[in-house]
Amino acid sequence: MPIAITAALSPQIVASIRDQIDRTTTPDHEALPEQARLNLDTRNPGIWHLVITETDGAIAAYAQAKVSGASVELQMLDDLWDPRFEQLLAQADLSSRSLTMWKHGVVGNVTVPEGFHIDRALRFLHRSLPADPIHPTSYVLRSFIVGRDEDSWLDLNAKIFAAHPDQGAWSIDDLERRIDSSWFDPSLFLVLADGNDLIGFCWVKIEPQHPQRGEIFVIGVDPKVAGRGIGRFLVTSGLDAMTRRGAREAVLYVENDNLAALQLYKTLGFQELSRDYRLIRNH
């Protein structure tokens, strides 16, 4: 299979891709984002796998295409763009759609392939731990309860991230796959309650292979209680949870145009490490 596009990968190809991911991923750069890794060995509607192999079967290039309506989004192994991906998209009648791709972990200027321009940017921030004391609140902070909080959390997540379909469109399957991950710890999935209603959350991720680094995986505040200091409370609570687990560094991603969040993180001592860029093909 020197060049192919398919809806499902063979176990051998999945193993080869995972091997390359393991060899090239570093604490500051994932060779393939988490959602794309989860999609490798599962047949999902709207997901295509673009594979280019050497004559000996080694992976020369891989990209995962997520098809949604008239758009196609590529996540590429090691962020390597191969012009033959265009040929593969044409085979599946996808080449006429709006095409975006991601470049991750960029420090300084980003290399933009010919015919593309920058459409979106995420900043990757970090700070050392321990952090400042927890900002107080009158609401109840507790751990996520598996088997009880899923529906309430999904509803709140959808409300908070309605303008960001990658996060806001999470299904119960998306949530359960993270719960089943090796890094999941319900005590690090903090939810904030006002009576019986969830109004915010701070989900902390600590990878077993990097126990010294904690990530604010996803954080959100119900818009109806915005402006009450809840965001600061949740961030400091997440940093405290990381510290108590032995982490010495905290990281997170934030949209480049989210000025309020950027200001909050700056006041809490976060500094930029790199940026992720989404590139879109010119029409």
Q: Is the pLDDT of residue 151 over 90?
A: yes
H/E run at residue 158? helix 150-160
Q: Is the pLDDT of residue 28 over 80?
A: no
Q: Is the pLDDT of residue 56 over 70?
A: yes
What value does the mean pLDDT of the chain take? 92
- In this structure, what token pair is assigned to residue 169? 């469109």
- Among the listed residues 200, 223, 203, 185, the one whose alpha carbon sits nearest the alpha carbon of residue 152: 200
Across 111-125, average pLDDT: 92
155, 160, 163, 165 alpha-carbon torsion, rounded to 10°: -50
Provide the 10 A C-beta neighbour count for residue 17: 23
CATH for 127-276? Answer: 3.40.630.30
Provide the 10 A C-beta neighbour count for residue 37: 18
Residue range(s) occupied by CATH 3.40.630.30 in the chain: 127-276
- Burial of 224-239, coded b for 16+ CB within 10 Å and e otherwise, reads ebeeeebbbbbbbbbb
% of the chain exceeding 90 in pLDDT: 75
Over the stretch 206-248, which tens digit does the pLDDT of each residue have? Answer: 999 899 999 999 999 999 998 899 999 999 999 999 999 999 9
Q: Name the least confident of 49-63, 139-153, 261-275.
A: 49-63
Across 94-98, average pLDDT: 90
Q: Is the pLDDT of residue 120 over 90?
A: yes
What's the confidence (pLDDT) of residue 119? Answer: 92
Over the stretch 152-195, which tens digit does the pLDDT of each residue have? Answer: 999 999 999 998 877 888 999 999 999 999 999 999 999 999 99
Query: Which residues lie closer than 8 Å to 37 by C-beta, 6 or more apart?
Result: 18, 21
Banded pLDDT at 1 (limits 50, 70, 90): low
Banded pLDDT at 30 (limits 50, 70, 90): confident
CATH for 3-106? Answer: 3.40.630
Across 54-65, average pLDDT: 90
